[in-house]
Amino acid sequence: MFEKNLRFAYLLDFYGSVLDEHTEAVMKAYYDDDLSLSEVAAGVGISRQGVRHVIKRGEEQLEFLEERLGLAKGHENIDEALAKLRMIAEALPSSVGEAKDKILELATVIEENN
């Protein structure tokens, strides 16, 4: 059975535009729209096996890009660091209220630009 690995949906957000249009469309239909292989096949006019092949090839390309560029991992690292920053700020005593507010404001700015 061919099971969906939702990690590829995440990688598709980062690298989907690098894939050729056909591969990107098939993968988005499969992962983002949660269509079955048969539903995707009917939509693009190829066999179910053809869709599976396109998806497998696309997954390999996404893995290759992530191994080389690491954008998704970098994004995860930033999210983890922001969570730690917020936790540290929340643990500060109320006597440093202004500093605490500035730290939380900084975390918000980073999140908005990430």
What CATH number is given to the structural domain containing 49?
1.10.10.10
Same-domain pairing of 47 and 22: yes
Give the burial string for 39-65 (b: 16+ CB within 10 Å, else e): ebbeeeeeeeeebbebbeebbebbeeb
pLDDT tens per residue, range 10-21: 999 999 999 999
Sign of CA dihedral 53, 55, 59, 64: positive
Domain assignment present for residue 2? The answer is no
| pTM for the whole structure | 0.78
Same-domain pairing of 92 and 38: no
Cα–Cα–Cα angle for 31, 35, 39, rounded to 5 degrees = 140
The domain tally of the chain equals 2
Containing structural domain, residue 88: 73-112
Same-domain pairing of 65 and 34: yes
Taking CA atoms, 9 is separated from 16, 55, 85, in Å, by 9, 11, 28
User: First and final CA of the chain: distance in angstroms?
Assistant: 37
Same-domain pairing of 33 and 47: yes
What is the average per-residue pLDDT within 16-28? Answer: 97
Domain assignment present for residue 1? The answer is no
pLDDT tens per residue, range 74-114: 999 999 999 998 888 888 887 787 888 888 888 888 888 87
Same-domain pairing of 30 and 47: yes
pLDDT tens per residue, range 34-60: 999 999 999 999 999 999 999 999 999
Same-domain pairing of 46 and 79: no
Same-domain pairing of 11 and 62: yes
Domain assignment present for residue 60? The answer is yes
